[in-house]
Structure 1
Amino acid sequence: MRPAWAAIDLKALQHNLRLLREKAGHRQLLAILKANAYGHGLTRIAAELQQADAIGVARVDEALALRQEGIVKPIVLLEGFFEPSQLAVLAASQIQTVIHTEHQLVQLERAELNTPLKVWLKVDTGMHRIGVEPEETVAFYRRLQASDNVDGDPILMTHFASADTPEVEQNQQQLAVFNSLQDSLQARLSISNSAAFLADLAPQDNWVRPGLVLYGVSPFADRRGQQLGLKPVMTLQASIISTREIDQGESVGYGAAWTARHKTRIGILAIGYGDGYPRNAPEGTPVWIEGRCYPLVGRVSMDMLAVDLGLDSDIEIGATGVLWGPQLPVEEVAEHVGTISHELLCNVARRVVLDYGDEN
C-alpha cells in the first residue's frame, strides 16, 4: 500500500509533444512549465522536452532550478523580473525576460550588464492583466531595440482572454489590435496559448506557447484531451487503507456531512487536501477503483477521503484508487468540483511522490 502518488507517463508526454510539434509546422514551440510543470515535476519534465525550442516559466527561481539541473535550452521568464538585482542573474544564466511595464523597461535600460538579454515585449490587447498599452508599444519596442542591454529585436507577444471559447468576438478584437502593431513593427510574434493554438486563432505566430495540452488535458470545456488525440500524463492514485460497513443513518467524516441512506460499505483512501485533492469536492465526485467509478462521500480530510463502495463490491484494503488519469479524465473531476483542470494539476502537493516509472 502507498499514500498518495502520481504516476507520470513520459511516453504520453512525448506523444503529446510530437502531436504539437507536427501541428506547429514551421512555428517554434515555447513549452510552458509553470507551477512545477503543472504539478508534473519541473526539472524532470524539462529534461524530456528535447523537441521543444524553449521553456517558459513564471518565476526566477524556477528558471534557476532548471539551469542548476543542467537544462541548457532557452528559458523565458513569463512574468519578467521583479527586482533590478535579478537582471545580472538572468544575464549570467542566459535567461530571457518578458517586459510588460515601463518600470521594467527603465530598469533594464539603466542596468549595467556584461551580457545583453533576449527580450519579449508583452502587449495588453484586451485581457487587462499585464502588458504595455497598444499605443505605447511601438515606442517601447524602439527603446528596446536601441538598448545595449537587449540582444537583437524583441519578440512581440500578447495573450487571449477567451481562447478557450474560440468563437467569441473578443478574440478577433484582440487579434486586430495586435495585427495593427505588427504592421508597424514587422516583429516576430507569439500569440497562442494551448487553446488558441489548437483553435488556429493566430496562424501568423512565430512562437506558440502550449502548456496544459502538453500534459494531455483539453483547454476546452466541451472536449476531453483524449478527444483531441492527447494522452494524459498524470495518474493521481492512492491506496485504500480501510473498509467498513455503515448502517443506515450512520454518518461519515467531519461534521457528519454525509449520512448513509441505507446500509453500505465505505473505503478510505490515503489522500486528502494535504496532497492537493480539493477539499470542496462534492458528494458523488468519482474515484476509479478496479474497473469502475465509486462516489466520494463525506468531507475530504487532510490525509484521507471516503468512497461509497456498496455492499456488492469486493474491493479490499490495498486496492488502488485513481483520482484522475486515463480511466478518469481530470477534466471530468474538475467539472464535479466546479473548477478547471489547471488548478487540480497545479495543486498537487510536494509530498505526493512523482513516479516516473524508472526508479528502483
Structure 2
Amino acid sequence: MSAHAPSVLRALIDADALTENVRALRARVGDRTLMCVVKADAYGHGIAHTVPALLRGGVRDLGVATLAEALALRELLDSLPAADSDPVGPALPAEPAAPAVSPAPAVTVASSAASAAAEDVRVLFWLHDAQTDLAPALRARLEVGCSTAEAVHRALAAAARTGLTARIHLKVDTGLGRGGLTRTQLDALLTELGALTSTEASLLRIAGLMTHLANADVPGDAETVAQVTSFREAEAQVKAFLDSVGGALGEADELETHLANSPGALGGEDIGGTMVRVGLSTYGLSPFEGRTGTELGLRPAMSLTSRVLTVKDVPAGHGASYGLTYRAREATRFALVAGGYADGIPRGASGRAQVTIRGRRLPVVGRIAMDQMVVDAGSAPVETGDEVIVMGDGSTGPSAEEWGEWSGSINYEIVARIGPRVDRVPVGGEDCAAEGEMRAGTKGDGDDR
C-alpha cells in the first residue's frame, strides 16, 4: 500500500456532534424507530467516521441507496467487535448496548463507547434494478426495499437459491412519482403473493412498508397531507392482506411503516409511521428553508478547512482567475487558497462565495477553478500558511446553507459532493485525540433526504 500524503483540504468530522444530533432526533421522534441514512458515504462525511458515532448514540437502523453501499456498510459493521456498553448522555428509551469500534478496511476507527454487535444493526437499501443479483444482499443480512413486483420476485428467487429468507419493505408511490408501486400495482402484487405456495411464502417476509415525501420541507403543504392519507390507505390494505394469509408472509402488527424523512420527522405535521428515515438532519443540517440546524437543536458535523498557498500584492485593475471576470478596484493582495470544484467546492458560487481567514470573512473573487480559488484579502493580515475555513457553522465560517445559496443549490448537495481527495479527519469522540489524521473511503450515490 502506498503512503498517504495528507491533503491541504480537510473535512473535519465531529463525532460528538453526530452523537448529539442522534440524541436530539430520538427525543423528537419519540417511540418511533430512528433510521439514519448513511448513503453517499454518509452524505460525504465518511461512513467509517460516521457510523461509530451513530452507534454510540443508540442508532440500530441504517439506510443506504444501493446494494454496493449496503454491502460496504455491512462489511464495516462486521469489522466492529462487540464490547461492553458505555452509556453516554441523558436517559433515553431503552436500547441494546453497542460495541467498541475497531479498524475498518483501509481506515483506522476507534470508539470504546460505540455499542451494538453488528448482527443487531438493521441495514436497508432500496435502489436496484433487474440486473441486480439480490443473493449477496440476503447473505449479508440486508433488508431490501422493493418498488416493483419484479423486484419482489427477484428477492423471492434469491431466497430460493440461497435458502435464506428475504426480508423486504414494499415501497408505494403516494405522489412523488419516483420509485414505488401504484395502488393498482400493489393490488396486483398482493394477489400474486396470496397465491404463493407455503414453501415459497416461507422464504419471504414483508417486514416494512415505505414511501417518500415530496414536499415535507414546506410546512402545511397539502400534497404532504394527501401523501400521508394515501400511505395510510396502503398500510391498511397491506395489514389486512397479511392477516388474510395468516401471517405466512409476516405479521401485521410487526410491520415497520416509514414515510417521514428529515423534514417529515422535524416538522409540525403528524406524519405517523413506526419508523423515520432521517438523512440530512443526522449531520446537523436543516431541511427547512429559513431555519437553521441550531434552531432545530442540531449541530453541523462537518467543517471544511484549507490553507493559504501564496499571497501577493497586485495593482488596481489586476484580474483574478479564468475569464478575468473580476478585476481589483484598487491595489490589493490576492491570497491563493487550495480547493476547487474537483474537491466539491461549487464553481457556481464564483463571484459570490466567501471564506474565513483569521476570523474575518473575505470574498472569493473570479472563477473557482478545479483545484484552487483566489481571495481578495485587501488590507487583512493574511499570510501564507494561514488556515482557511471554507465551510463552518455560519459563525466559524460560511455554512453549507450559504454555499448552497451562493451556488443556486442546497446544503444537501454541498456536503455530499465533497471530493475523495479531501481528507476526512475525525475530531471529538472518545478516541479521536489519539487517532491523528485518518483517511476515509469513497463515496456512494443517492439523493433522498
Output the CA distance in 2 between the equivalents of 1:27 and 1:303: 44
Uncovered stretches (5+) of structure 1, i.e. residues with no partner: none
Aligned-partner Cα distance in 2 for 1:78–1:271? 34
Deviations 1:306-344 (A, max 9, x none): 111112x11111111111122222111111111011111
Output the amino acid matched with 2:405.
E
1:83 matched residue in structure 2: 131
Q: Which residue of 1 aligns with 2:28?
A: 23
Q: Report the alpha carbon displacement of residue 256 of structure 1 after superposing the two structures with TM.
A: 1.2
Q: Which moved more, 1:182-191 or 1:277-286?
A: 182-191
Q: Which residue of 2 aligns with 1:260?
A: 328
Letter in 2 for 1:130: G
Deviation of the 1:283 alpha carbon: 0.9
Matched to 1:134, the amino acid is R
- 1:221 aligned partner: 289
In the other structure, the counterpart of 1:320 is 387
Matching of residue 179 in structure 1 with residue 247 in structure 2: no
Cα pair distance change 1:142/1:77, threshold 3 Å:
farther
3-state SS in 2 of match to 1:191? strand
- 1:154 pairs with 202, 207, 214, which one? 207
| Greater CA drift, 163-172 or 138-147 | 138-147
Normalised by the length of structure 2, the TM-score is 0.76
Aligned position for 1:299: 367
Tell me how large the CA RMSD over aligned residues is: 1.9
1:131 partnered with 2:180: yes
Distance verdict in 2 for CA 1:207–1:142, change over 3 Å:
farther
Counterpart in 1 of 2:260?
192
* Aligned residue in 1 for 2:269: 201
TM-score (norm 1): 0.94
Corresponding residue to 2:300 among 223, 228, 232? 232
Conserved? CA contact 1:108–1:149, under 8 Å = no
* Equivalent pair of 1:39/1:346 in contact (CA under 8 Å): yes
Matched, 1:356 2:426: yes
Which residue in the other structure is 1:274 paired with?
342
Q: Tell whether 2:412 aligns with 1:342.
A: yes
Amino acid paired to 2:391: W
Aligned-residue identity in percent: 32
Structure 1 residue corresponding to 2:46, chosen from 25, 41, 44: 41
Structure 1 residue 100: Cα displacement: 0.1
Amino acid at match of 1:294: L
Q: Which residue of 2 aligns with 1:242?
A: 310
Question: How many equivalent pairs are there?
Answer: 358
Superposition deviation, residue 140 in structure 1: 2.7
How much has 1:56 moved relative to structure 2?
0.4
Report what 1:70 is aligned to. 77
Per-residue CA deviations over 1:248-294 (Å, capped at 9, x if unaligned) read: 11101112121112222121111111211112213131212221211
Q: What aligned pairs does 1:109-120 form with structure 2 within 5 A after superposition?
A: 109-111=156-158, 112=160, 113-120=162-169
Structure 2 equivalent of residue 107 of structure 1:
154
Using the TM superposition, name which of 282-291 and 177-186 deviates more: 177-186
Map Cα deviations across residues 133-185 of structure 1 (whole Å, 9 max, x no partner).
Answer: 02332443465575536553331111111111122211111111112222333
Gaps of 5+ in 2: 1-5, 79-117, 240-254, 437-449
Bigger drift between 314-323 and 210-219 goes to: 314-323
Number of the residue aligned with 1:170 = 223
Contact kept? 1:213, 1:230, Cα under 8 Å:
yes
Structure 1 pair 122/155, CA: closer, same or farther in 2 (3 Å)?
same
Match of 2:144 among 97, 106, 126: 97
Cα pair distance change 1:75/1:2, threshold 3 Å: closer
Contact 1:124 1:132 in 2 (8 A): yes
How far is the alpha carbon of 1:203 from its aligned partner?
4.1
Q: Which residue of 2 aligns with 1:61?
A: 68
- Cα distance in structure 2, aligned partners of 1:144 and 1:195: 34
Distance 2:171 2:23 in 1: 28
